[in-house]
């Protein structure tokens, strides 16, 4: 069976009927070994979008969480209603308390549901910093070493240490990606790429002992990158010879348009309903 990925939640709805956009991300992954759901959006679109796109959430054998932000995890209760008891893979840091601020604006952006509540709905958490095989051929990347000098943490995001009044910059160490070993090659699925797209690509190539990645899909966080980081990232994508690049969510329309202009036919918009086969 051909591997097929379908975007279930994104900021933009790319289909004319029955789906909604929301600030968030979720991707339905179908393989010959079974189905995996990577992220859940913030909870407004996942169930309806899955139904409209003909993806049965009850068929999901495992859920993977990219990181503990509300826009990737808020749909977990709806998903668990369909799946019943199911393994949920992620990093041990996903339940950290964290916020976003910019000037006088700010708000809480950590997970909206407690681990105990989600466990009561059927989530069987497997939280690890190491690479892990979720189902045969589908892996979670493990913690991403931050090595490039041009990919820096988002300065507007802060972490609240437990019991402490003060906050510190949030490195989002829990940021993980999914890697699918498909017929055409490795497919890298990004949640928000807080670890830096190039750091993630390098880690995946090293971890899987491969020369190249066939396709990338998901949130790149390039919408928040400065000119240097964006240019360096474009150059790196060219160097790595990636054949398909589908951007979603935190890429933003401006950076997505520039990627489209640069990559031509290798590019596609990863809105709700976008598909990638591999």
Which residue among 179, 192, 201, 263 contacts Fe ion (CB under 5 A)? Answer: 192
Alpha-helical segments (H) within 136-251: 197-208, 227-240
Cα distances from 52 to residues 13, 17, 45, 212, in angstroms, run 12, 8, 10, 34
Q: Per DSSP, which regions of the chain are E strands?
A: 4-9, 26-31, 34-38, 60-64, 86-90, 97-102, 105-108, 123-127, 132-135, 138-140, 157-160, 167-169, 178-182, 185-190, 215-219, 244-248, 267-269, 275-277
* Min CB(12)–Fe ion separation in Å: 14
Q: In sequence order, which residues have a C-beta less than 8 Å from that of residue 165 and are 6 or more positions away?
A: none
Stretch that binds Fe ion, among 112-120, 137-145, 190-198, 222-230 (CB under 5 A): 190-198
* Min CB(213)–Fe ion separation in Å: 21
Residue (160 or 210) nearer to Fe ion, CB:
160
* Min CB(25)–Fe ion separation in Å: 6
Residue (71 or 151) nearer to Fe ion, CB:
71
Residue (of 3, 15, 7) closest to 179 by Cα position: 3
**Interacting positions 51-80 with Fe ion (CB under 5 A):** 69, 71
- 176 touches Fe ion (CB under 5 A): no
Stretch that binds Fe ion, among 28-36, 191-199, 209-217, 223-231 (CB under 5 A): 191-199
Residue (71 or 232) nearer to Fe ion, CB:
71
Q: Please, how many CA atoms are within 13 Å of residue 1, restricted to the half-sphere of its CB?
A: 11
Count of residues of this chain found to bind Fe ion when the rule CB under 5 A is applied: 3
What is the rounded CA–CA span in Å between residue 239 and residue 234? Answer: 9
Query: By the 8 A CB rule, do 117 and 81 touch?
Result: no
Stretch that binds Fe ion, among 40-48, 163-171, 192-200, 201-209 (CB under 5 A): 192-200
Residue (219 or 278) nearer to Fe ion, CB:
219
Residue (35 or 248) nearer to Fe ion, CB:
248
List residues near Fe ion by CB under 5 A: 69, 71, 192
């Amino acid at each position: 069976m051909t591997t097929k990925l379908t975007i279930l939640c994104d900021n933009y709805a790319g289909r004319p009927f029955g789906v909604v956009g929301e600030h968030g991300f979720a991707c339905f992954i179908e393989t010959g070994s079974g189905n995996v759901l990577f992220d859940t959006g913030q909870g407004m679109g996942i169930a309806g979008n899955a139904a409209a796109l003909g993806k049965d959430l009850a068929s999901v054998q495992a859920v993977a969480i990219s990181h503990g932000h509300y826009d990737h995890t808020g749909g977990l209760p709806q998903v668990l209603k369909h799946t019943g008891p199911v393994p949920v893979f992620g990093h041990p840091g996903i339940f950290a308390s964290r916020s976003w601020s910019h000037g006088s604006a700010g708000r809480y952006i950590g997970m909206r549901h407690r681990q105990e509540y989600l466990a009561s709905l059927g989530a069987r958490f497997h939280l690890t910093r190491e690479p892990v095989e979720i189902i045969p051929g589908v892996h979670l990347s493990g913690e991403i070493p931050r090595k490039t000098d041009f990919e820096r943490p988002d300065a507007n995001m802060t972490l609240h240490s437990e019991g402490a009044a003060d906050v510190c910059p949030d490195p989002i160490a829990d940021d993980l990606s999914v890697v699918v070993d498909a017929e055409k090659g490795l497919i890298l699925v990004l949640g928000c790429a807080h670890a830096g797209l190039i750091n993630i690509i390098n880690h995946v190539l090293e971890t899987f002992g491969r020369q190249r990645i066939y396709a990338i899909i998901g949130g790149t966080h390039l919408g928040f990158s400065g000119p240097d980081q964006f240019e360096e990232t474009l150059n790196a994508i060219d160097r790595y010879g990636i054949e398909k690049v589908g951007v979603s969510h935190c890429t933003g329309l401006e950076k997505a348009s520039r990627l489209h202009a640069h990559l031509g036919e290798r590019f596609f918009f990863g809105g709700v309903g976008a598909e990638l086969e591999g």
